[in-house]
Amino acid sequence: MAAAKNKKKKAPQKTPQKKPLKAALTWEELLVEKALAMISETGRQINESAERFEQQRREKDRQVNESAERYEHQIKETVEKNKWEMTEITGETDRETKESYGRTGQKIKGSAEKPGKKMKNADGRLDRPSKSSEDSGYIDLPNLMRKFRELGFVFEKSYKEAVISDKKNNISIEIDITLESSDKVMIVKTKTRPSDKDITGHTEQMKKMRQYGDLHGEKRKYLGAIYGIDFNDSEKLFTIKNGFYVIEPSGKTFVITAPEGIYFPKEW
């Protein structure tokens, strides 16, 4: 009995409480959850698309910058490659110019004994050397046309020193060299040492040419070029950026650099 009394009564076991069942979602709640899920997915796709677009933009910028650097490097290499030829041509031109002035001086000296009127005219010619002898006089037009043919231009006509004087429409243009084909006209400005001002001036001249052509039924496209005996790097690049071809003497022929890459030939 004592042993039975000493036995502890077993504690009554607690019945585990059941969790309340979650109430079934209503139709409206299901629609809301589905809409939120779709909005979340759409936002994720938009973020991914924006990241891809930004990566593509950065890659495009990088490619453009690399292209510009390569093009400028090619220009510098071309200048360095032909520098000795340019120096040689410049020296030859200086020699011919000195000889020309020497011959002119001899003519003036021979005219000193003639009436004063003729002497005065000779002085006038010496003070104002012709533009042809300074810039375009030494250019071999048939050879220049052949060099342009290598670039795909088939010019049939060429001439120097053209003047357009349209007083009715107030258009006055002096053209150094003109090359013509059936569908294009190349207007060439010649300078011993082209400057930024010369290049900008040629742009204005091309606009006048287009205006004159439109007034007189000219349907051909106008293109421009700058010929220079002594081009430095900055003026050469500025010429190309303005859409003009660069023409440089090289021995008895020419080197023609076309705008390409991130630049392109401009048409009027």
Higher-scoring residue by pLDDT: 60, 117: 60
Fold of 134-268: Trna Endonuclease; Chain: A, domain 1 (3.40.1350)
3-state secondary structure of 177: strand
Please give the Cα distance from 268 to 258 (Å, whole number). 16
3-state secondary structure of 141: helix
Instruction: Give the pLDDT confidence of 162-175 residue by residue, as tens digits.
Output: 999 999 999 999 99
This model's pTM is above 0.75: no
As a dihedral over the C-alpha atoms of residue 117, residue 123, residue 126, residue 128, rounded to 10 degrees, the angle is: -80
Indicate the residue type of 33.
Answer: E
Please give the Cα distance from 85 to 212 (Å, whole number). 39
Instruction: Give the pLDDT confidence of 182-237 residue by residue, as tens digits.
Output: 999 999 999 999 999 999 999 999 999 999 999 999 999 999 999 999 999 999 99
Mean pLDDT of 68-91: 60
Most confident of 18-22, 69-73, 79-83, 134-138: 69-73
Least confident residue range of 20-24, 136-140, 146-150, 222-226: 20-24
Stated as kind and residue range, the H or E segment containing 102 is helix 27-111
Phi, psi at 62, each rounded to 5°: -65, -45
Domain boundary assignment for the chain: 27-103, 134-268
